Amino acid sequence: MWAPSTKVGRTGATATTVTEAAVALADEHGLEALTMRAVAERVGVGAMTLYGYVPGKSELLELMLDAVAGTTYEVGARPGDQDGWQGALRHIAERNYSHALAHGWSVEVPPGRPILGPGVCLKYEAELTPLDGIGLSDEAMDHVVSTVVNMATGAARWQLGLDRVRAASQLSDDRWWALSQPVLAAVMEGLQLPISTRVGNSIASAGDPHASLVAGVELLIAGLGSRPGPGL
Protein backbone atom coordinates (compact mmCIF):
# COMPACT_ATOMS: atom_id res chain seq x y z
CA MET A 1 0.00 0.00 0.00
CA TRP A 2 2.94 2.32 0.67
CA ALA A 3 4.59 1.76 -2.71
CA PRO A 4 4.94 4.93 -4.83
CA SER A 5 1.75 5.58 -6.80
CA THR A 6 2.41 4.84 -10.47
CA LYS A 7 -0.95 3.56 -11.66
CA VAL A 8 -2.75 6.33 -13.56
CA GLY A 9 -6.32 5.84 -14.68
CA ARG A 10 -8.00 7.31 -17.73
CA THR A 11 -9.18 10.22 -15.59
CA GLY A 12 -5.63 10.91 -14.41
CA ALA A 13 -6.41 9.57 -10.94
CA THR A 14 -3.77 7.87 -8.80
CA ALA A 15 -3.72 6.58 -5.23
CA THR A 16 -2.07 9.89 -4.32
CA THR A 17 -4.77 12.06 -5.89
CA VAL A 18 -7.45 9.89 -4.28
CA THR A 19 -5.79 10.38 -0.88
CA GLU A 20 -5.45 14.13 -1.42
CA ALA A 21 -9.14 14.37 -2.35
CA ALA A 22 -10.13 12.39 0.74
CA VAL A 23 -8.03 14.62 3.02
CA ALA A 24 -9.58 17.76 1.50
CA LEU A 25 -13.07 16.33 1.96
CA ALA A 26 -12.44 15.42 5.60
CA ASP A 27 -10.80 18.80 6.29
CA GLU A 28 -13.85 20.61 4.94
CA HIS A 29 -16.70 18.43 6.20
CA GLY A 30 -15.37 16.11 8.89
CA LEU A 31 -14.90 12.39 9.12
CA GLU A 32 -18.63 11.69 8.99
CA ALA A 33 -18.71 12.99 5.40
CA LEU A 34 -15.96 10.62 4.29
CA THR A 35 -17.49 7.90 2.14
CA MET A 36 -15.99 6.11 -0.83
CA ARG A 37 -18.77 7.53 -3.00
CA ALA A 38 -18.11 11.10 -1.86
CA VAL A 39 -14.38 10.72 -2.51
CA ALA A 40 -15.07 9.22 -5.92
CA GLU A 41 -17.29 12.16 -6.85
CA ARG A 42 -14.55 14.58 -5.82
CA VAL A 43 -11.95 12.69 -7.87
CA GLY A 44 -14.31 12.43 -10.82
CA VAL A 45 -14.57 8.66 -11.06
CA GLY A 46 -17.19 6.07 -10.30
CA ALA A 47 -17.34 4.65 -6.79
CA MET A 48 -16.34 1.16 -7.95
CA THR A 49 -13.43 2.59 -9.93
CA LEU A 50 -12.02 4.00 -6.70
CA TYR A 51 -11.36 0.49 -5.41
CA GLY A 52 -8.81 0.05 -8.15
CA TYR A 53 -6.64 2.59 -6.34
CA VAL A 54 -7.56 1.98 -2.68
CA PRO A 55 -8.76 -1.39 -1.31
CA GLY A 56 -11.32 0.15 1.06
CA LYS A 57 -12.17 2.91 3.51
CA SER A 58 -9.95 1.62 6.33
CA GLU A 59 -6.94 1.57 4.00
CA LEU A 60 -7.87 5.02 2.72
CA LEU A 61 -7.90 6.35 6.28
CA GLU A 62 -4.41 4.97 6.83
CA LEU A 63 -3.21 6.65 3.65
CA MET A 64 -4.81 9.91 4.78
CA LEU A 65 -3.25 9.80 8.24
CA ASP A 66 0.14 9.03 6.77
CA ALA A 67 -0.19 11.82 4.22
CA VAL A 68 -1.03 14.50 6.78
CA ALA A 69 1.63 13.22 9.20
CA GLY A 70 4.19 13.76 6.48
CA THR A 71 3.29 17.45 6.25
CA THR A 72 3.72 18.24 9.97
CA TYR A 73 7.14 19.82 9.45
CA GLU A 74 6.83 20.45 5.72
CA VAL A 75 6.88 24.22 6.17
CA GLY A 76 9.14 26.02 8.62
CA ALA A 77 11.56 24.70 11.19
CA ARG A 78 12.01 21.08 12.18
CA PRO A 79 12.49 19.79 15.74
CA GLY A 80 16.23 19.45 15.23
CA ASP A 81 16.51 23.12 14.26
CA GLN A 82 15.47 24.29 17.73
CA ASP A 83 17.64 25.46 20.62
CA GLY A 84 18.38 22.20 22.44
CA TRP A 85 16.13 19.28 23.20
CA GLN A 86 13.93 21.50 25.38
CA GLY A 87 13.09 23.78 22.46
CA ALA A 88 12.59 20.73 20.28
CA LEU A 89 9.96 19.27 22.62
CA ARG A 90 8.12 22.60 22.74
CA HIS A 91 8.23 22.75 18.95
CA ILE A 92 6.95 19.19 18.60
CA ALA A 93 4.05 20.00 20.92
CA GLU A 94 3.09 23.20 19.10
CA ARG A 95 3.33 21.68 15.63
CA ASN A 96 1.31 18.61 16.52
CA TYR A 97 -1.31 20.77 18.23
CA SER A 98 -1.75 23.16 15.31
CA HIS A 99 -1.59 20.30 12.83
CA ALA A 100 -4.35 18.41 14.64
CA LEU A 101 -6.53 21.53 14.68
CA ALA A 102 -6.01 21.93 10.94
CA HIS A 103 -6.99 18.29 10.35
CA GLY A 104 -9.57 17.85 13.10
CA TRP A 105 -10.82 14.57 11.68
CA SER A 106 -7.42 13.00 12.36
CA VAL A 107 -7.99 13.00 16.14
CA GLU A 108 -11.39 11.34 15.69
CA VAL A 109 -9.97 8.19 14.08
CA PRO A 110 -10.04 5.38 16.69
CA PRO A 111 -6.50 4.43 17.73
CA GLY A 112 -5.09 1.11 16.63
CA ARG A 113 -1.83 -0.40 15.52
CA PRO A 114 0.87 2.05 14.42
CA ILE A 115 0.70 3.26 10.84
CA LEU A 116 4.04 2.49 9.24
CA GLY A 117 3.84 4.62 6.13
CA PRO A 118 6.60 6.93 4.90
CA GLY A 119 4.96 10.10 6.22
CA VAL A 120 4.60 8.75 9.76
CA CYS A 121 8.11 7.27 9.73
CA LEU A 122 9.75 10.50 8.55
CA LYS A 123 7.82 12.48 11.17
CA TYR A 124 8.92 10.05 13.88
CA GLU A 125 12.54 10.30 12.75
CA ALA A 126 12.39 14.11 12.87
CA GLU A 127 10.95 14.04 16.40
CA LEU A 128 13.47 11.52 17.73
CA THR A 129 16.53 13.23 16.27
CA PRO A 130 16.95 16.02 18.88
CA LEU A 131 16.65 13.47 21.70
CA ASP A 132 19.39 11.22 20.39
CA GLY A 133 22.56 11.38 22.46
CA ILE A 134 21.18 13.27 25.47
CA GLY A 135 21.30 10.31 27.83
CA LEU A 136 17.95 8.66 27.22
CA SER A 137 17.54 5.02 26.28
CA ASP A 138 15.87 4.25 22.96
CA GLU A 139 12.75 3.20 24.83
CA ALA A 140 12.72 6.42 26.84
CA MET A 141 13.15 8.48 23.66
CA ASP A 142 10.06 6.82 22.20
CA HIS A 143 8.11 7.39 25.42
CA VAL A 144 9.00 11.09 25.50
CA VAL A 145 7.98 11.67 21.88
CA SER A 146 4.78 9.66 22.29
CA THR A 147 3.88 11.55 25.47
CA VAL A 148 4.35 14.98 23.88
CA VAL A 149 2.46 14.02 20.73
CA ASN A 150 -0.40 12.49 22.72
CA MET A 151 -0.58 15.58 24.93
CA ALA A 152 -0.77 17.78 21.83
CA THR A 153 -3.42 15.73 20.03
CA GLY A 154 -5.41 15.40 23.25
CA ALA A 155 -5.36 19.17 23.74
CA ALA A 156 -6.43 19.67 20.13
CA ARG A 157 -9.29 17.18 20.55
CA TRP A 158 -10.37 19.06 23.69
CA GLN A 159 -10.22 22.42 21.87
CA LEU A 160 -12.22 21.11 18.92
CA GLY A 161 -14.83 19.75 21.33
CA LEU A 162 -15.06 23.10 23.11
CA ASP A 163 -15.48 24.87 19.78
CA ARG A 164 -18.37 22.57 18.84
CA VAL A 165 -20.11 22.98 22.21
CA ARG A 166 -19.71 26.76 22.18
CA ALA A 167 -21.12 26.98 18.67
CA ALA A 168 -24.07 24.71 19.50
CA SER A 169 -24.96 26.38 22.82
CA GLN A 170 -24.39 29.97 21.68
CA LEU A 171 -23.13 30.65 25.21
CA SER A 172 -19.87 32.25 26.26
CA ASP A 173 -17.86 30.40 28.88
CA ASP A 174 -18.67 33.08 31.46
CA ARG A 175 -22.41 32.74 30.78
CA TRP A 176 -22.17 28.95 30.89
CA TRP A 177 -20.49 29.12 34.30
CA ALA A 178 -23.07 31.59 35.57
CA LEU A 179 -25.85 29.16 34.63
CA SER A 180 -24.02 26.04 35.83
CA GLN A 181 -22.72 27.16 39.21
CA PRO A 182 -26.09 27.30 41.06
CA VAL A 183 -27.01 23.83 39.79
CA LEU A 184 -23.56 22.48 40.65
CA ALA A 185 -23.73 23.98 44.14
CA ALA A 186 -27.09 22.32 44.79
CA VAL A 187 -25.97 18.91 43.53
CA MET A 188 -22.67 18.99 45.44
CA GLU A 189 -24.12 20.33 48.70
CA GLY A 190 -22.75 18.41 51.67
CA LEU A 191 -19.85 16.86 49.78
CA GLN A 192 -16.36 17.54 51.09
CA LEU A 193 -14.40 18.67 48.03
CA PRO A 194 -11.92 21.24 49.36
CA ILE A 195 -9.09 20.63 46.89
CA SER A 196 -11.16 20.34 43.72
CA THR A 197 -13.24 23.36 44.78
CA ARG A 198 -10.12 25.45 45.33
CA VAL A 199 -8.52 24.39 42.05
CA GLY A 200 -11.77 24.77 40.14
CA ASN A 201 -12.31 28.28 41.49
CA SER A 202 -8.79 29.27 40.49
CA ILE A 203 -9.47 28.23 36.91
CA ALA A 204 -13.09 29.43 36.76
CA SER A 205 -13.57 28.63 33.09
CA ALA A 206 -14.33 25.78 30.74
CA GLY A 207 -10.62 25.19 30.47
CA ASP A 208 -7.77 26.23 28.23
CA PRO A 209 -6.45 23.26 26.25
CA HIS A 210 -3.41 25.07 24.89
CA ALA A 211 -2.40 26.41 28.30
CA SER A 212 -2.69 22.89 29.72
CA LEU A 213 -0.51 21.57 26.91
CA VAL A 214 2.17 24.20 27.49
CA ALA A 215 2.17 23.56 31.24
CA GLY A 216 2.36 19.80 30.74
CA VAL A 217 5.29 20.05 28.35
CA GLU A 218 7.16 22.35 30.74
CA LEU A 219 6.64 19.87 33.59
CA LEU A 220 7.95 17.07 31.38
CA ILE A 221 10.99 19.15 30.43
CA ALA A 222 11.66 19.94 34.10
CA GLY A 223 11.44 16.26 34.98
CA LEU A 224 13.77 15.21 32.18
CA GLY A 225 16.19 18.00 33.09
CA SER A 226 16.50 16.67 36.62
CA ARG A 227 17.75 13.31 35.39
CA PRO A 228 21.51 12.71 35.39
CA GLY A 229 23.08 12.13 32.02
CA PRO A 230 24.91 13.81 29.16
CA GLY A 231 22.99 16.70 27.66
CA LEU A 232 20.38 16.78 30.42
**DSSP per-residue codes, 27-48:** HHH-GGG--HHHHHHHHTS-HH
**Is the pLDDT score of 2 beyond 60?**
no
Give the least confident one: 21-25, 29-33, 72-76: 72-76
- At the fourth CATH level, the homologous superfamily of domain 79-226 is Tetracycline Repressor, domain 2 (1.10.357.10)
Torsion of CA 80, 225, 147, 67, to 10 degrees: 0
Average pLDDT estimate for 25-47: 94
Q: What are the phi and psi torsion angles at 230 (to 5°)?
A: -65, 135
Average pLDDT estimate for 10-33: 91
Give the least confident one: 86-95, 96-105, 109-118, 176-185: 176-185
Give the least confident one: 22-26, 60-64, 223-227: 223-227
> Which residues contact residue 221 at a Cβ distance below 8 angstroms, ignoring those fewer than 6 apart?
86, 89, 90
Taking only the tens place, the pLDDT of each residue in 142-194 is 999 999 999 999 999 999 999 898 889 888 877 877 787 788 778 777 778 77
Indicate the pTM of the whole model. Answer: 0.86
**Is the pLDDT score of 8 beyond 70?**
no
Q: Are 1-71 and 79-226 the same fold in CATH?
A: no
CA–CA gap between residue 53 and residue 15 (Å, rounded): 5
- At the fourth CATH level, the homologous superfamily of domain 1-71 is Homeodomain-like (1.10.10.60)
CA–CA gap between residue 22 and residue 158 (Å, rounded): 24
Average pLDDT estimate for 26-36: 96
> CA 228 → CA 37, 83, 132, 194, distances in Å?
56, 20, 15, 37
**What pLDDT sits at residue 5?**
57
43 within 8 A of 17, measured Cβ to Cβ: yes
CA–CA gap between residue 178 and residue 184 (Å, rounded): 10
Average pLDDT estimate for 93-115: 94
**What pLDDT sits at residue 230?**
60
**What pLDDT sits at residue 93?**
98
- 3-state SS assignment for residue 8: coil
Average pLDDT estimate for 60-85: 93
Specify the amino acid at residue 101: L
**Is the pLDDT score of 21 beyond 80?**
yes
9 within 8 A of 44, measured Cβ to Cβ: no
Question: How high does pLDDT run on average in the chain?
Answer: 89
CA–CA gap between residue 67 and residue 71 (Å, rounded): 7
The 3-state DSSP composition of the chain as helix, strand, coil percent (nearest 5) reads: 70, 0, 30
Specify the amino acid at residue 131: L
**What pLDDT sits at residue 184?**
75
Question: Where do the domains of the chain lie?
Answer: 1-71, 79-226
42 within 8 A of 27, measured Cβ to Cβ: no
